Amino acid sequence: MSAVEVPVAPVAPVAARRRPRMPGIRFLRSELVLIFGRRRNWFGMAVLASVPVLIAVVVKLTSGPQNGEGPNFFSSITANGLFVALAALTVELPLFLPLAVAAISGDSIAGEANLGTLRYLLAVPVHRTRLLATKFAALIVFTAAAVLLVAGVGAGLGLALFGGGPMLTLSGSQIGFGEGLWRLLLVCAYLTVCLTALAAIGLFVSTLTEQPIAATLVVVGFAVASEILDAIPQLHAIHPYLLTHDWLGFGDLLRDPIATGTVSHGLAGSAAYIAIFLSAAWARFSVRDVTS
């Protein structure tokens, strides 16, 4: 008598039964929670957001600068609230935004070493290249968030106080409100790339020390030194190679039509800084003796 054949359900391969794992995303999410969850970073973001509020309130309560006085962005605030965002970005670009980026990037590796968590983080194990990539990705997100925070608060409050409508370009022509909003987003994207280059420098400096405050001061000093050198006419030969030389070139995005010369040079220069200092950070961190 033959044995009864019992149908056996096919067994799925082990790889198919496993749920997809994306450790890189979880690692990035953890890093973002660490950055945006600290109260000191909340305070820093609040300071960034306070500048457009101050500009909008002061201009609303006073007559504001007359035509031909002060920056064009300030002169045009009462005509279109979007100029509050542009004025705030112009004011914060020399110091406040670089300081915020320097503080976060300088703390990225040095902060872990200072707290004694870097050795345990690498013992998970986490590959050093992956760790650097995740840290840099988090820095990009923070940089974009900082720029958009300033622009968003400025645009929102400016539109509430002064309204929208057609936007006067730096060329003297007018563009629609939608086009003006799109130009503001382009400005934010451009400044994010420029400040990301500073974040790459901060990441490299952070691999050299275990003191995040020291790393922050070095990065801020680098940005300030670049601005000082850029203001000295006798050094015009090196101006195109300075980190901050093309930061204010975002004004070309507000011309009609858009001028791409300065912006293209700024993007290329930022890309070069990012490539150089990310490579330096990887070279340093990959051979670093982590003791803490």
Do the domain assignments include residue 188? yes
Do the domain assignments include residue 7? no
Do the domain assignments include residue 145? yes
Count of domains observed in the chain: 1
| Residue (of 99, 78, 85) closest to 51 by Cα position | 85
> Three-state SS for 160?
helix
Range of the domain at 130: 23-286
Cβ atoms of residues 90 and 71 within 8 Å? yes
Q: What ranges make up the beta strands (E) of the chain? A: 167-168, 174-175
Summarize pLDDT for 216-239 with one digit per residue, the tens: 999 999 999 999 999 999 999 999
Residues 6+ apart with CB under 8 A from 160: 81
How far, in Å, CA of 128 to CA of 121, rounded? 10
Cβ atoms of residues 220 and 99 within 8 Å? yes
Residue 46: is its pLDDT beyond 70? yes
The model carries a pTM of 0.85
Per DSSP bridges, beta strands 174-175 and 167-168 are antiparallel
Summarize pLDDT for 109-145 with one digit per residue, the tens: 887 766 555 555 555 555 778 888 999 999 999 999 9
Do the domain assignments include residue 5? no
Do the domain assignments include residue 8? no
Do the domain assignments include residue 12? no
Do the domain assignments include residue 4? no
Do the domain assignments include residue 9? no
